[in-house]
Structure 1
């Protein structure tokens, strides 16, 4: 892709919802505002998602902790929800970005984009 097409593509993403994966396994979902030559990304109205800690998964599997609320347990599977929080405006450093996904609009999706 030549430079002009790359710039046009980035321009087309401004105002769209992106899902940005970081090296520490966090996922940021927010409105794309801009980027720079260092590949830093600025997102607005951003939610941060984290995978549950090993202790939370262990507690959910054994049913020993009430903090496992929002989890489901059956004989062979344990399901524990990701934790999330609203962080607003965020700069994700380019060196820590592992993947970027475009969030496709869906009228049936709730405000929380990772909940289905």
Structure 2
């Protein structure tokens, strides 16, 4: 029984660290790459146990954002991205740099 308690404490600690990391991402500009090749950029508002993500002020890009090519985004606004369609999530540093100059 004592071994089970130790494992639970480790699991609780991991969950707590995960919650802190998620909390630090709230209201930051996030870039989400999807299984169909689209990239969504918006403000991270929340997630759930199924890893669905809600982005506010979301823009959709059809081509990968690489190089100096500027693609005109499609404005989505508030968007829910199903967790099973997400390939990767990262903080969008290009949006952070743009907002520093404004």
Q: TM-score range by the shorter chain?
A: 0.7 to 0.9
Instruction: Mark the runs of 5 or more structure 2 residues left unpaired by the alignment.
Output: 1-12
Please give the alpha-carbon distance, in whole angstroms, between the structure 2 residues aligned to 1:106 and 1:43. Answer: 19
Residue of structure 2 in register with 1:14 after alignment: 26
Runs of 4+ in 1 over 3 A off after TM superposition: 79-83, 107-111
Partner of 2:36: 24
Structure 1: runs of 5+ lacking an equivalent: 53-78, 112-116
- Kept in 1, the 8 Å contact 2:39–2:63? The answer is no
Q: Could you tell me the TM-score, scaled by structure 2's length?
A: 0.73
Relative contact order (alpha carbons < 8 A, sep ≥ 6): 1 or 2 greater? 1
Q: Deviations over 1:16-67 (max 9, x none)?
A: 0000000000000000000000000000000000029xxxxxxxxxxxxxxx
Change (3 A) 1:40 1:8: same
User: Which of the two has greater helix per residue?
Assistant: 2
Q: State the alpha-carbon separation in 2 of the partners of residues 108 and 18 from structure 1.
A: 14
Corresponding residue for 1:87?
A: 76
How many residue pairs get aligned? The number is 85
Give the TM-score normalised by the residue count of structure 1.
0.65
Note if 1:96 corresponds to 2:95: no
